[in-house]
Structure 1
Amino acid sequence: MRVAVTGARGGYGRTLLAQLRHVSDQTAAVLVDPDTAGVRQMLLELGCAEDGMTVTDDRAAAEAAVHAGRIALVPGAEALPWGAVDVLVEATGRVDVGTAYAVRAIEHGVHVVMVSKEIETVAGIALHRRAAAAGVSYLPGDGDQPANLLRLLDWIERVGLEVVACGKSSEYDLVLDPATGRVRQLDVEIDAPSLAELLELGDDAAATLAARAEAVTGLKRSAAADSCEMTVVSQYSGYLADTESMHYPVARPDELADIYAERERGGLIAEPGAVDVFSMLRLPGEASFAGGVFAVVRTGDPVTWELLRSKGHVVSRDGSHACIYWPYHAMGVETPLTIAAATGRGAVAPQIPRAPAPHTLLAARASRDLASGTRLAVEGHHHEVAGVAPVMLPGSEARRGAAAYYLLGGATLRRDIAAGELIGLDDLDGVAPVALDAFADGFLRP
């Protein structure tokens, strides 16, 4: 299988390219990135020979290089030889550019593995439909939380367990040093001495969670990337956010079965079948959950689950719920599984349901007053829009005029937007046409 990778210079691209060197039936054929010099240097670091690659901006030369057994490094779509590849791995993270790559791939009969979760929230439904009509695959890529959680849910539902809640941990753990009373999140530390007394959930879980949240108010715990990923899960699974900004409890893994029970049992969940994100609280030296996914299920037979509790499973204190989890993701190291599935040579892809649908819209709510004429940009590591909060709303809000969050990138406001208002499609000028068309196909057209 000949694989093309867009956004090849990024961290995800490197992890995938490093792994493809060890997968016998998959070959990195075309690498697309404006920084071709950077991609070339990366390949050299990974052990590729200088004469094993060709840097070119000419499509014919790129195709010739692939047929000669070399890796073609090209700066953009104009030089991508579609006839020389079998699978596109889209990893630009840019909705306008990445949607266009996926559309072109499908038109040329090339399977698509979608790594750019931002694109999934806007265009994934339409792209999946178009791929099915063209007889090619369109799959979310293993190695990030959305596809990994969908695989976990697939297993859970196939064995007949009932999901009450599912989700992931936020990207960065909260690491408490009880000796100093300080909490570290990456390279940021704050004083939170009260947390040392809140390590146990206690009899009043709601009060403990509220006190923990108060103790870490100085840290940023939510990110657009979290809402983006859980929107993808919702679109494929049909599970919905319990609240538009999710709960984000500060939690330890052995508490999840209690925390994500229904409210009448002392948990957070109003309606079973919720997606959510938690902030992991741990001590120095304890294993991380960052990158992991979970599902909380009803247990049924108490004897079975008491036996499983004794084998280390996370079971609620009253025995009614259990948490099943994978505490990791491995980025591109796992993506060869999806590449194989896309071509029918590997494991069955997630099937809950078989196609994404507009269950949830990742919408945009102004977090401060925004003036008419403001140009909006998706920026930073977490791909966020300044002054705008992502919110998870029913997909029907799109038909009422709400815009998808990641359609805002590069657009300009037509009117003043007050803090708290949803931003609508009619409020925007300059939305990327290819992304807007795919959004309309997925959310607005039958």
Structure 2
Amino acid sequence: MSLYQQLQRRAAEGRPVRVGLIGAGKFGSMYLAQVPRTPGVHLAAIADLSPDGARANLARVGWEAGRTQATSIDEGLKHGTTHIGDDWQAMVRHPAIDVVVECTGHPIAAVDHCLEAFAHGKHVVNVTVEADAFCGPLLARRAAEAGVIYSLAFGDQPALICDLVDWARTCGFPVVAAGRGHKWLPHFCTSTPETVWGYYGLTPEQAKRGGLNPKMFNSFLDGSKPSIESTAVANATGLAVPSGGLLYPPGSIDEIPSLTRPRSEGGVLEKKGMVEVISSLRTDGTPIGYDIRMGVWVTVEAETDYIKHCFEEYNAQTDDSGRYFTLYKRWHLIGLEVGMSVASVALRGEPTGVATGWHADVVATAKRDLKPGEVLDGEGGYTVWGKLQPASRSVAIGGLPLGLAHDVKLVRPVAQGQCLTWNDVAMDTGTHAYRIRQQMESLLTPAG
């Protein structure tokens, strides 16, 4: 029975999947836009630091005011409406909630939310991939110990890449490479919230009019988000990461099969079985025509002449050897697709991507020369960007995870381009996020 049929049955039986959402910002609002159109799902509660802001976003996406008048979760459950408040703990602890969707975008808070949800028997769909990047393998273990499902969010690129990798392996194909697209030039890694709009082709006035968050957009542009998402994919699939960080080879969709093969065969990979990101800009900055900027892809190999001939007979786009083929999805719809994860964890007991080992990490890297006393401002800010590293290398150098490089004071100078370490900062050791990262470093041996 398909997921949709199972949802229809739950609706007919009056047993909807009951969901609690933490964070009703842009991503959360996209999910909210789809919930009233999804049978068998009841969004029982929303927890947000600004309940009025959450209500405004609900109105923006088309919810009727009467759907959000519940004065408590119990009242909402009784009448099929949604309670909105700022007490995320009360929501997570409520016995009727089946699935918690963590959608704050704040990695340190997200760890608190996930751990509390596990402790109260809730499945978690974690949209805040920044948290997964620095402690996802241990979050997955904690969920399994609690008997619940922890999952990446479908619609976001990591889960979609994991889906393509699963397709390939289930069909018997060896995965040569997998990843996403991105608009990239090397100097973007030093971009700040003040320079981001010029690189995007917008004026500050246009960005302000659209209510666009420069720090969030800059986290994509400066390479932090591609590294974060590639880390989540590597840890979920077991694919390796480039030893020196992402290469961002430029290419059109038709060029991906040639690019994502080993160097010995004319590609860019150190070896088969790696994550990578394809740039939509040539090295001179000119745009590439049929690009994969907003999409995801997986490259597989024909291991026999028969399979190679099948590629040829069905006009599959391959490299010049005919052995490497790329399947891709050119677009992703972000929060509009999260319902797939909610249904999968609640009805099938299956995550849409989850860490199975520790293979990759994202290390905070100086955007400029940094001085003692400066305070790091995390991904997308003025001080650091995230560099993808093999987890074994990150642990060996004592690398500071990007997800923990928020509001942290430097205690010694760090040169531009240098990876930061634990010893460079005065870390707040009292957070769950810090403790679970330290536990992960002691309990899980990174795969080399």
- The Cα shift of 1:162 comes to 1.3
Q: 1:392 to 1:426 in 2, by over 3 A?
A: same
Q: Match for residue 41 of structure 1?
A: 56
Residues 1:32 and 2:47 are matched in the alignment: yes
Q: 1:349 to 1:79 in 2, by over 3 A?
A: closer
Q: Match for residue 374 of structure 1?
A: 374
Q: 1:285 to 1:267 in 2, by over 3 A?
A: closer
Structure 2 letter corresponding to 1:187: G
Indicate if the aligned counterparts of 2:242 and 2:390 stay in contact, CA closer than 8 A.
no
- Once residues 261 and 290 of structure 2 are traced to their aligned partners in structure 1, the CA distance between those partners, rounded to angstroms, is 24
Percent identical pairs in the alignment equals 26
User: Secondary structure of 2:375's partner?
Assistant: coil
- Once residues 171 and 315 of structure 1 are traced to their aligned partners in structure 2, the CA distance between those partners, rounded to angstroms, is 23
User: Structure 1 regions of 5+ residues with no counterpart?
Assistant: 174-183, 190-219
- The Cα shift of 1:355 comes to 4.3
Q: Match for residue 435 of structure 2?
A: 437
- The Cα shift of 1:95 comes to 1.1
Q: Match for residue 416 of structure 2?
A: 419
- Once residues 222 and 369 of structure 2 are traced to their aligned partners in structure 1, the CA distance between those partners, rounded to angstroms, is 21
14, 23, 35: which one aligns with 1:7? 23
Q: Match for residue 80 of structure 1?
A: 91
Indicate if the aligned counterparts of 1:63 and 1:81 stay in contact, CA closer than 8 A.
no
Give the structure with the higher percent helix: 2
320, 330, 340: which one aligns with 1:317? 320
Q: Match for residue 359 of structure 2?
A: 359
Q: Match for residue 223 of structure 1?
A: 223
158, 165, 180: which one aligns with 1:153? 165
Indicate if the aligned counterparts of 2:232 and 2:355 stay in contact, CA closer than 8 A.
no
Q: 1:160 to 1:350 in 2, by over 3 A?
A: farther
- Once residues 199 and 407 of structure 2 are traced to their aligned partners in structure 1, the CA distance between those partners, rounded to angstroms, is 31
Q: Calculate the aligned-residue CA RMSD, in Å.
A: 2.8
TM-score with structure 2 length normalisation?
0.80
Structure 1 letter corresponding to 2:407: G
Q: How does 1:145-184 map to 2 (within 5 A)?
A: 145-170=157-182
- The Cα shift of 1:412 comes to 1.1
- The Cα shift of 1:291 comes to 2.6
Residues 1:342 and 2:339 are matched in the alignment: no
Q: Structure 1: which 4+ aligned runs deviate by more than 4 Å?
A: 281-288
44, 49, 52: which one aligns with 2:67? 52
Q: 1:291 to 1:100 in 2, by over 3 A?
A: same
Q: How does 1:27-426 map to 2 (within 5 A)?
A: 27-54=42-69, 61-80=72-91, 82-83=93-94, 84-170=96-182, 186-187=200-201, 222-280=222-280, 289-302=292-305, 304-309=307-312, 311-343=314-346, 345-346=347-348, 348-350=350-352, 355-378=355-378, 383-396=379-392, 397-398=394-395, 400-426=397-423
Indicate if the aligned counterparts of 2:341 and 2:352 stay in contact, CA closer than 8 A.
no
Deviation per CA, 1:53-91, whole angstroms, max 9, x where unpaired? 1376xxxx3444344422111124255352131111111
- Once residues 274 and 159 of structure 1 are traced to their aligned partners in structure 2, the CA distance between those partners, rounded to angstroms, is 19
TM-score with structure 1 length normalisation?
0.81
- Once residues 76 and 320 of structure 2 are traced to their aligned partners in structure 1, the CA distance between those partners, rounded to angstroms, is 61
- Once residues 116 and 27 of structure 2 are traced to their aligned partners in structure 1, the CA distance between those partners, rounded to angstroms, is 22
Q: 1:129 to 1:399 in 2, by over 3 A?
A: farther
- Once residues 31 and 264 of structure 2 are traced to their aligned partners in structure 1, the CA distance between those partners, rounded to angstroms, is 45
Higher mean displacement: 427-436 or 119-128? 427-436
- Once residues 115 and 438 of structure 1 are traced to their aligned partners in structure 2, the CA distance between those partners, rounded to angstroms, is 19
- Once residues 410 and 317 of structure 1 are traced to their aligned partners in structure 2, the CA distance between those partners, rounded to angstroms, is 50
User: Structure 2 regions of 5+ residues with no counterpart?
Assistant: 1-16, 186-197, 204-219
- Once residues 32 and 406 of structure 1 are traced to their aligned partners in structure 2, the CA distance between those partners, rounded to angstroms, is 22
23, 31, 36: which one aligns with 1:16? 31
Structure 1 letter corresponding to 2:250: V
Indicate if the aligned counterparts of 2:253 and 2:291 stay in contact, CA closer than 8 A.
no
Report the count of equivalent residues. 394
Deviation per CA, 1:222-281, whole angstroms, max 9, x where unpaired? 521100000000111121222433111221000111111111211111211111111125
Q: 1:222 to 1:308 in 2, by over 3 A?
A: farther
User: Secondary structure of 2:412's partner?
Assistant: coil
- Once residues 323 and 289 of structure 1 are traced to their aligned partners in structure 2, the CA distance between those partners, rounded to angstroms, is 12
Deviation per CA, 1:105-161, whole angstroms, max 9, x where unpaired? 111111100111101012212211111111111011111110110111011011111
Deviation per CA, 1:171-202, whole angstroms, max 9, x where unpaired? 689xxxxxxxxxx975269xxxxxxxxxxxxx
- The Cα shift of 1:28 comes to 1.3
